[in-house]
Amino acid sequence: MDPFTLPQLPYAYDALEPFIDKETMTIHHQRHHQAYVDNLNIALAQTNEVNPDLDSLLQRISEYSPAVRNNGGGHYNHSLFWEILSPQPKITPEGALNDAIISTFGSLQNLKAEMKKTGLSQFGSGWGWLFVKFNGSLSISSTPNQDNPMMDVLSMNRGFPILGIDIWEHAYYLNYQNKRADYLDAFWSVLNWSSVERKYEEALSKVR
């Protein structure tokens, strides 16, 4: 049995409209994410890994082939992406995460502005991240391709992702064409802060 499978979406393909359209969601999940899962399983079959843990694998990704890096990152990143989106999202953070956002960025609006700036400045395909650094603080960065802040191939800006924005063209081009800024603005309308809060607590438990 293959170690990894495509996760089911917790909502229908058209549930995020008009912000993310049904056709984009269907292709993104069934074709792009499925391809990452299939190719990751193929790549891992060439290794000695038995019942691999994806988080642990990514944290020592320098030990593996580019195929494991690209497809392992693709599987992890997309799984997180689906999880933090919702057709009925909690639209603002609360509690410890909200306190950390205000302490770090000054306000939620400042965080959104910084995430947009980071997403627009990423040349080509990649991701924009809000993550918990290994010292427990919040930070924002972008990564190319399917890399993410957990990977040990990064020399800086490392930590545990709690929010990721897919800025590959396949994530938005059918609806937004070349208007990446509009897509980055629309993203917040379907971001579920409840999921991000849970990921924040999980990340803090790993760095304490």
Per the annotation, binding residues are 28, 78, 166, 170
Tell me the two tokens of residue 83. 């999880």
H-state helical runs in the chain:
22-27, 34-44, 54-59, 66-84, 95-105, 108-121, 173-176, 180-187, 193-207
Annotated binding site for Mn(2+): 28, 78, 166, 170
- What burial letters (b/e) apply to 176-195, b meaning 16+ CB within 10 Å? beeebeebbebbbebbbbeb
Residues in contact with 32: Cβ distance below 8 Å, sequence separation at least 6, in sequence order: 74, 78, 170
User: Degrees (nearest 5) of the Cα angle 129, 194, 11?
Assistant: 90
Tell me the two tokens of residue 139. 């930070």
